[in-house]
Structure 1
Amino acid sequence: MTSIYTSEAGAERLSRLYREHLASWPVPSEHRHLPTSQGDTFVLSCGPEHAPPVVLLHGSSTNALNWFADAPEWSREFRLHAVDLIGEPGLSAPSRPPLTSDAHARWLDEVFDGLGLETVAVVAESLGGFLAVDHASRRPGRITRLALLCPGGLGRQRREMVLFAAALMVFGRGRAAMSWLCGTSDIPEYARTVSSHFRPRMEKLPRFDAAALRRLAMPLLVIVGDRDRMFDSAGTRRALERAVPHAVVRRLAHTGHFLPRQTGPIADFLRSREKTGNRGSVGIGDPKQIRRG
């Protein structure tokens, strides 16, 4: 059960550190383990119980802590459900079904059902963005509003960059590899610890075709960094312009895969009730605070 970790001791250390961080979650929260066909799934929920629900899906090599700094603002108006993705360094099952199958969509159905959510807004990042688009394209209508941060599966995955970073890690340069790949030297200590004990998914993400993207009829906000070394952000913009013309794409200048925190813009998007118009690509300014748990 520790195959996604480098060792049993590493798995135990990350679990202990994660639980310590969860104990300092900035707003009152509750923890659940939902049974699914892929194993138990951990969900942290916070915010008013009867407020509009929002599911949060983090990226690779992280967990619900990804949303630590966003939670205080978002939970004022929304009931947040931060899901630990399966196969990632959280408290969910280590299962990693093929990304080319419908297994993750069925898993998310089970998570939504377990939370009692017939429809829901979703905020997702990187790998979580890929899973959100995959689900939305297979289950039209269930995700009612979608905000994506540097999502996978739209622009070309720069796999050669990932492999170069992996090679640096083999030679003991993990911190330098993370900084180079993510486009910032501001890597939190917890993230560096995860990189020392966790084996991330290395398979290439499938790309969504135009037919799948055209099924994204919900209001859609996509925020990318123009210097993302993991995904071709210009390709992401082009794919959406062609297939999802109502999507709003915001490009952050001088920014890599770790984005400046988008707490305010995403809150505005979530609380907005109008249909997103065809506004195309929008460039915005330089980052200050890097997002990560």
Structure 2
Amino acid sequence: MTTAEHFGGTSHHADLDGPVHWVDFGGPDDGPRVVLVHGLGGSHLNWVLLAPLLARRARVVAVDLAGHGLTHPEGRQTTVQANARLLGRFVEEVVGEPVVLVGNSMGGMISLLHTAEDPGLVRGLVLVDPALPMVLGTRPDPTMLGTFFVYSVPGLGERFLARSRTVTPRKQVDRLLDLVCADPAGIPEELKLASEHLIGERAGVEGLDKAFLAAARSTVLTTSRRGAYYAAMRKIRVPVFLMSGDKDRLVNVAAARFVARRHPHWRYDEFAGIGHVPQMEIPEVVSERVLEWMDANGLSTPES
């Protein structure tokens, strides 16, 4: 049984200039199409707690971006821009109709950039703690700042990743959850075990470190180009739902508040005591809010 099947999903691969792994979580055939897009270093597993809840009323799939999950690099570019193009091809060639995109962290950035460039494929956009430019005057989390500094330095990032693999898969999972969750104790044990299993499945795959660092450096570069990123936001004409945990260590909540003020027509929800991955920390709440927002914006039925 694959990690996806353990949580009620079915694994597939699509040929988009190389195999792209995606998971079908089912849902009503006459429901709206929802595509879930994970963040940096993530995978379809980031959505296994939320997806079944959304699938009660929507047809839900999750895609592994290039260099992530079970979509191996195989020489492909893994920058934010390259994965935005890959996401567009996935929606057009695999899903085959306009969708509601739900993106977390780097996946939120990728979903936003794709929506700005190819709005015909997107009906609505949900940004779950997306990667955003830092607001001047706020203090970044020291661990986050140090980690991304290491990633950005050629040679140093490679050595850091190699050293991180010397600990057990469980320790790797625990370290990541400590960074992204306000309270990692709330994450189910079965998801932690599935994450360990995925680390094992990826062991020995060529080019993973190079792919990860290219994605990380591209994410930092894209957020640093504030003018271009904010211009992309202004181009979006579909309904947008921005949400943020106020204990997010990777993207300070001040950045989400700043963007929300710039776009008062977007819905903005903030979760007290929640970190960078609300879809894992409070999946029931996120599902309820997203489905409510879809109803309010006429997104609860397929586009005719």
User: Kindly, what percent of the aligned residue pairs are identical?
Assistant: 23
The match for 2:293 among 238, 247, 269 is 269
1:239 match: 259
Structure-2-length-normalised TM-score: 0.70
Q: Which residue of 1 aligns with 2:5?
A: 23
Distance 1:72 1:162, change over 3 A: same
In structure 2, what is the equivalent of residue 140 of structure 1? 119
Cα separation, partners in 2 of 1:240 and 1:32, compared to 1, 3 Å: same
Q: CA RMSD in A?
A: 3.2
Report Cα offsets for 1:87-106 as digits up to 9, x if no partner: 112245455625364x2232
Residue 190 of structure 1: how far off its partner (Å): 3.6
Please show how residues 70-81 of structure 1 align to structure 2 within 5 Å.
70-81=50-61
Sort the Cα spacing of 1:89 and 1:161 in 2 relative to 1 into closer, same or farther, 3 A: same
Instruction: Judging by fraction of residues, say which structure has more helix.
Output: 2
3-state secondary structure, aligned to 1:23: helix
**Larger relative CO (CA 8 A, sep 6+): 1 or 2?**
2
After superposition, what is the alpha-carbon deviation per residue over 1:187-208, rounded to whole angstroms, capped at 9, x for unaligned?
5344456678674443251125
Secondary structure of 2:254's counterpart equals: helix
* Counterpart contact for 1:48–1:77, Cα < 8 Å: yes
Of the three residues 207, 214, 217, the one matched with 1:203 is 217
Instruction: Tell me what 1:111 maps to.
Output: 90
How far off its partner does 1:22 sit? 2.2
Assess, with a 3 A threshold, how the Cα gap between structure 1 residues 22 and 180 changes in structure 2: closer, same or farther: closer
Partner of 1:279: none
CA distance in 2, matches of 1:176, 1:25: 20
Q: 1:32 to 1:252 in 2, by over 3 A?
A: same
SS at match of 1:224: strand
**Residues 91/211 of structure 1: CA separation in 2 closer, same or farther (3 Å cut):** closer
> 5+ unaligned residues in a row in structure 2: which ranges?
151-159, 300-304
Q: Distance in 1 between matches of 2:273 and 2:199?
A: 24
Whole-angstrom distance in 2 between the partners of 1:47 and 1:176:
31
Q: SS of the residue aligned with 1:214?
A: helix
TM-score normalised by length of structure 1: 0.73
